[in-house]
Structure 1
Amino acid sequence: MSDSTDLPRFPQESSPGPTGPTGPTGPTGAAPTRPGTVNGAFWAFLAATVISIVSGLLVLGERDSLADAVRRSDAKLTAQQIDQAATVAMVAAVVIAVLIALLYLLFAVKLRAGRNWARIVLTVLTALQVLSLLAGSGGSWIGYLSCLAAVIGVVLSFLPESSAYFAAARPVRR
């Protein structure tokens, strides 16, 4: 039987891991320090979400114009059917706005936690929002304001400090 003295000996030194612009990211599991640009991006996406919710709630004040649009599109409907159609359209718009807002919040929280996939998803959603406004979908001033906040969030999330944070946060999660 072999004795433990026959085994090669390796130094017992431990290295703290690579050090980057955001701090140690070695095997100790220390999370990198979140830069202000990522916090700013989080708050910009949060602002875009709140603005979108306000926009969705403003639809509630547009019930009469919505009913008029339904009335003009199909003259065969009764007054009760027009009211029902307007109510269904308003409820659907509010539900969709809330669901989208919840997803935006989830992605913003994940972005703040250093998840690169969330940064990419928010970038794609913001690009779709910009394209929608450029295509002339009848955006209101509040829609443009929400889009501007989201664009600011995307820009902040891709600044060099943010990119270093996402790169440093990746090895910490296992």
Structure 2
Amino acid sequence: MTEVLIPPRQLLLSRRLWIASCVAGLVAVIFRLADRRGLNDMLGQLAPQLTLGQVDGAVNLAVVMTVALRLGVIALFWWLSTRTVQGVEWARVVLTVLGGMSVGLGLLGVLGLVAGSAATVVAQLGIIQVTLSVVVFGLDVAALAMMFHPNSRAYFIGVRRTRPGNTPA
């Protein structure tokens, strides 16, 4: 008879934090994409040879592709965090790498706020974008921390011991 291990609450919380971070990122993208006029103007400046119809079509494609990509990221993080809660070690490693990259980029953003003029950054990006970026950064840090909490680590060790073919650590 194999022992049934229950994931610790820290690992379950980590899963919720990963998903919340992805959803907050989707909200940030939606707010950014809501400024169609700004997107049209930006693309018109980058490629002045395009007609208005071509610019509008390119912006439509960019919006659809960006939202689809974000939904794919949410699905990936949902799947990886679910596998992590099931005690799958490689999923925790992948989440660590992806989360670490997100935290690193978030840290660069926070340093940019501190080093530069915060008012200028907020004026360029908007208070909602800056706030959502800080929220995503905080959620990612917390999710990583909960994934490596001592109770979570003990759970992974326990799962490793109960899986057939594994030797105790």
Q: If the length of structure 2 is used for normalisation, what is the TM-score? A: 0.78
Q: 1:40-99 CA deviation, whole Å, 9 max, x = no partner?
A: 111111211221222233244122111110011121111101101111111111111011
- Between the aligned residues of both structures, percent identity stands at 26
Q: Which amino acid counterpart does residue 15 of structure 2 have in structure 1?
A: F
TM-score (norm 1): 0.76
* Residue 90 (structure 1) aligned with residue 80 (structure 2): no
Number of the residue aligned with 1:42: 15
Question: Can you list the C-alpha shifts for 1:94-143, whole angstroms capped at 9, x where unaligned?
Answer: 11101111000001111111112111111111111122234459773212
Q: Which has the higher contact order (CA 8 A, sep 6+)?
A: 2
Distance 2:11 2:107 in 1: 27
Distance change in 2, residues 1:150/1:134 (3 Å): closer
Matches within 5 A, 1:63-74: 63-74=36-47
What residue ranges of structure 1 are gaps of 5+ in the alignment? 1-27
Tell me the distance in 2 between the aligned counterparts of 1:57 and 1:38.
29
Distance across 2 between alignment mates of 1:58 and 1:109: 28
* One-letter amino acid of the structure 1 residue matched with residue 13 of structure 2: G
Measured in 2, the distance between the counterparts of 1:78 and 1:33 equals 59
Distance 1:67 1:29 in 2: 60
Cα pair 1:63 1:90 within 8 Å, conserved: no
**Structure (1 or 2) with the greater helix fraction:** 2
Computing the radius of gyration from Cα coordinates, the structure with the larger value is 1
Q: Which amino acid aligns with 1:153?
A: A
Q: Which amino acid aligns with 1:148?
A: G
Aligned residues: 147
Aligned to 1:170: 160
User: Is 2:42 the counterpart of 1:52?
Assistant: no
Superposition misfits of 4+ residues, deviation over 6 angstroms:
none
